[in-house]
Amino acid sequence: MIIINTSPRKGGNSDLIEKYVVDYLKENQLNFEPLKLREINISLPDHCFDCAVGNYCQNIKDDMESKVIPQIVKHDEWLIIMPTICGYGSTLFKIFIDRLSSLYHKDRIHYFHNLKIKAVIHGQVDNSWQILLKWFEDYQSWTGLKSFEYITFVFSPKKGFNFPKDKIKQFIQMKLT
């Protein structure tokens, strides 16, 4: 499993959730690989012809095709930790998904057919994730994802909301059984 933290903010709510998940996985001696999007060199897509048809982009030299894509395709399970920002996922998440375009090529799209994505989605306002969930539904449809599951909750320590550790633990356990 790869744990993908999509938050651009270091030390924020997503990092607290990620630490809890990582500690749980370590305690139970379960294998995982962390990936914090803010720590990789990732460029905006240039939407060139190669990108548009799912080829490897010849114009962008960053970590996506040399390091990140080879890292993620080793896994058939992603656990995405993401905040909602104005109803959407983070800008880093959007760039990450756009930069996966080389996997959308007809000769490589099969990767998604065995991929299970689980998402821990949190926001400071209840139901701030509805647009994002619709997007994931569409993404699952056109990539042929094997499965997409999620949990959502309001999480804002400054406003007195704490994250539901038991709910997250149950969600992870469901994933691992």
86: Cβ–Cβ under 8 A, 6 or more apart, which residues? Answer: none
pLDDT score for 128? 85
Whole-angstrom distance, CA of residue 115 vs CA of residue 113? 6
User: Is residue 149 classed as helix, strand or coil in its secondary structure?
Assistant: strand
**Number of residues that this document lists for the chain:** 177
Mean pLDDT over 9-20 rounds to 92
Which residue type occupies 59?
N
Domain residue ranges in the chain: 2-176
Tell me the pLDDT band of 177, cut-offs 50, 70 and 90: very low
Q: Is the pLDDT of residue 175 over 60?
A: no
For residue 176, pLDDT over 60 is answered with no
pLDDT digits (tens, 9 = 90+) for 126-153: 888 998 899 999 999 989 999 999 999 8
Q: Which residue has the higher pLDDT, 55 or 80?
A: 80
pLDDT of 159 above 70: no
Q: Quick check: 155 and 162 in contact, CB under 8 A? A: yes
What is the CATH superfamily name and number for domain 2-176?
A: Flavodoxin domain (3.40.50.360)
What is the per-residue pLDDT across 35-67, written as a single tens digit (0 to 9) for each? Answer: 999 999 999 888 888 887 888 888 888 999 889
Rounded CA-CA distance 64/99 in Å is: 7
Percent over 70 (pLDDT), the chain: 96
pLDDT digits over 84-140, tens only? Answer: 988 888 999 999 998 888 888 888 888 999 999 999 999 888 888 998 899 999 999
What pLDDT shows up at residue 83? 93
Distance of alpha carbon 5 from alpha carbon 93, whole angstroms: 9
The pTM assigned to this predicted structure is 0.92
